[in-house]
Amino acid sequence: MTDLTIAVPRGALFGESLDLLDRLGIDTAPVRSNDRRLIFPEIGVITMRPSDVPSYVEHGAADIGITGKDVLLEQAGREVYELLDLGYGTCRMVVAARDGDDPLGEPLRRRGSVRIATKYPRIAGEYFTATGRQAEIVEVKGSVELAPLTGLADAIVDLTATGTTMRENHLVEHEQIGVMTARLIANPVSHKLKAAAVDALVERIRGLDIVARP
């Protein structure tokens, strides 16, 4: 696949993304053995934060990339093609609050709006608008679980895989916004000029029987 450059996300999706490349016959040993090196031209791989993948793909620094559906929804304006649901990295986007609170009832009755802390302001804002409720969105970058515990917000919108972190911080889920998985995306120009290579890769991944159409 050295005729294509792929952006691979570090973090939660990193291991399974490398496993996918291994199954496609790409030796990821150089990536696995070096935590500091970011570019691996010998196998056509660059690595970065999941939230940066759409930027690199949109601007052509990578032909294709892997990132979470949550990232794509939050960066909905990016000009990239979503090609495949890769079927791994499953998390749920949920609304959660401190155990015992009525975050979506009492604040709405008293103030007419609910204050939501999140790393995903676009997703949270669109969800509450779509459900007919007024929400003040407070964007945070760190541990969003702190927000309802300190009074910063009534509730949070965040990703959860097992729910362990929320339980440890005495938070409970109130609503589910959606299920998020890893997605394969492509640069529109590369998708056209390197169509044969991109299509061949997509078909090889489909042949692994792990994916679904987005």
Q: Nearest-CA neighbor of 191 among 44, 81, 84, 38?
A: 81
129-156 tens-digit pLDDT: 999 999 999 999 989 999 999 999 999 9
What length is written for the chain? 214
State how far the Cα of 85 lies from the Cα of 66, in Å rounded to an integer: 10
49-63 tens-digit pLDDT: 999 999 999 999 999
Residue 213 is predicted with a pLDDT of 46
**100 — pLDDT class (breaks 50, 70, 90):** confident
The tokens for 96 are 């959660």
State how far the Cα of 52 lies from the Cα of 67, in Å rounded to an integer: 9
Average pLDDT, integer, range 37-44: 95
Fold category of 6-89+181-207 in CATH: D-Maltodextrin-Binding Protein; domain 2 (3.40.190)
Compute how many other C-beta atoms are within 10 angstroms of the C-beta atom of residue 140: 17
Residue 65 is predicted with a pLDDT of 98
Q: Please provide the CATH number assigned to the domain covering 91-178.
A: 3.40.190.10
Q: Decide if pLDDT at 87 tops 90.
A: yes
Task: Determine which of 15-19, 25-29, 109-113, 200-204 has the lowest per-residue pLDDT on average.
Answer: 109-113
Beta pairing, strands 155-160 & 114-118: parallel
158-186 tens-digit pLDDT: 999 988 989 999 999 999 999 999 999 99
CATH 3.40.190.10 segments of the chain? 6-89+181-207, 91-178
Q: Nearest-CA neighbor of 81 among 199, 206, 184, 186?
A: 186
Mean pLDDT of the chain, nearest integer: 93
Burial-class residue 122 by CB neighbours within 10 Å (0-12, 13-18, 19+). middle
